[in-house]
């Protein structure tokens, strides 16, 4: 990382561990599993690239510009993409693809989601009543840390972020990747994502990276009044769609948005 990136992204990292079973979403899989496994194996074999200019702020700005051209219009979301170096969160052999709009393997059968999908979900969060009032996403619960890239983006646009991961190797990987960026606003939790994280509740924003047949009740209960939840959910007609839930004094408003493809929401801690 360049000196500019280090100074920009220095945010202290606080780490928690939560015992018990967990059900944290996994990352979006947008390619055959054999291709993901082959790409990850290749990443382990190759040396880190050099002289590719991936630390350049211009590379990130161009990605943000392409996202804007694709329909992501929230300036705070685009600024976050321009600030966080995505190539630091992928395997070295895949770094040259880091700023393309594609998902990439991060190990353990998981992927880092497409920037356009991540941007769309974060942009939807900004439509919540509390986010509009605060001018940022407020207190955020992220279910499914993965490699930590989305958590880093969320830390750019939130007051605080609690990110929960059920897969211990990924929790450890995210901790390692995010440690140099240091933030009092960001806490990583190895625990039960389906149960949310009650000590940090209520949350102004909740975002999930995998979809089940229904939204866990714990997420709804931990969503603040005026807060917004964005998650993929299985549809009765088949497939998944992004679902947005707003909590109001009188109850919950739910709307279904575009179709997406995420891996199923799972429960149980994995080491």
Q: Which residues contact 258 (CB under 8 A, 6 or more apart)?
A: 120, 241, 242
- Of 149, 151, 147, give the one whose Cα is nearest residue 137: 151
Catalytic residue among 103, 113, 183, 231: 113
- Provide φ and ψ at 17, rounded to 5°: -130, 130
> What CA–CA distance (Å, rounded) separates 81 from 78?
5
Could you give the 3-state DSSP secondary structure of residue 43?
A: helix
Which tokens in the block code for residue 68? 């804007």
* 270 tagged catalytic: no
The C-alpha torsion from 247 through 248 and 250 to 252, rounded to 10°, is -30
Is there a contact between 28 and 209 (Cβ–Cβ < 8 Å)?
yes
Q: How many CB atoms lie within 10 A of CB 62?
A: 13
Q: How many CB atoms lie within 10 A of CB 190?
A: 25
Which tokens in the block code for residue 245? 């839930």
E strand spans, 108-181: 110-112, 139-143, 160-165
List, by residue number, the catalytic residues: 113
């Amino acid at each position: 990382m360049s000196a500019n990136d280090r100074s920009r992204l220095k945010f202290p990292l606080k780490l928690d561990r939560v015992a018990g079973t967990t059900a944290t979403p996994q990352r979006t899989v947008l390619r055959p599993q054999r291709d993901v496994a082959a790409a990850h194996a290749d990443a382990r074999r190759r040396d880190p690239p050099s002289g590719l200019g991936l630390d350049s702020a211009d590379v990130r700005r161009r990605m943000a510009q392409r996202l804007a051209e694709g329909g992501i219009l929230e300036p705070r979301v685009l600024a976050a993409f321009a600030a966080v170096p995505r190539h630091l969160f992928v395997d070295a052999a895949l770094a040259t693809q880091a700023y393309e709009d594609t998902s990439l393997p991060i190990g353990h059968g998981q992927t880092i989601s497409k920037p356009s999908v991540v941007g769309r979900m974060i942009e939807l969060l900004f439509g919540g009543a509390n986010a509009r009032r605060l001018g940022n996403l407020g207190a955020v619960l992220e279910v499914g840390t993965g490699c930590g890239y989305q958590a880093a983006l969320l830390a750019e646009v939130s007051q605080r972020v609690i990110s929960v991961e059920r897969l211990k190797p990924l929790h450890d990987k995210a901790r390692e990747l995010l440690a140099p960026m240091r933030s009092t606003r960001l806490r990583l939790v190895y625990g039960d994502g389906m149960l949310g994280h009650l000590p940090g509740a209520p949350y102004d924003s909740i975002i999930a990276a995998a979809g089940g047949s229904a939204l866990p009740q714990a997420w709804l209960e931990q969503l603040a009044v005026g807060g917004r939840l964005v998650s993929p959910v299985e549809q009765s007609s088949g497939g998944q769609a992004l679902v947005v839930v707003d909590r109001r004094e009188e109850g919950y408003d739910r709307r279904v948005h575009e179709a997406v493809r995420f891996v199923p929401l799972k429960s149980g801690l994995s080491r």
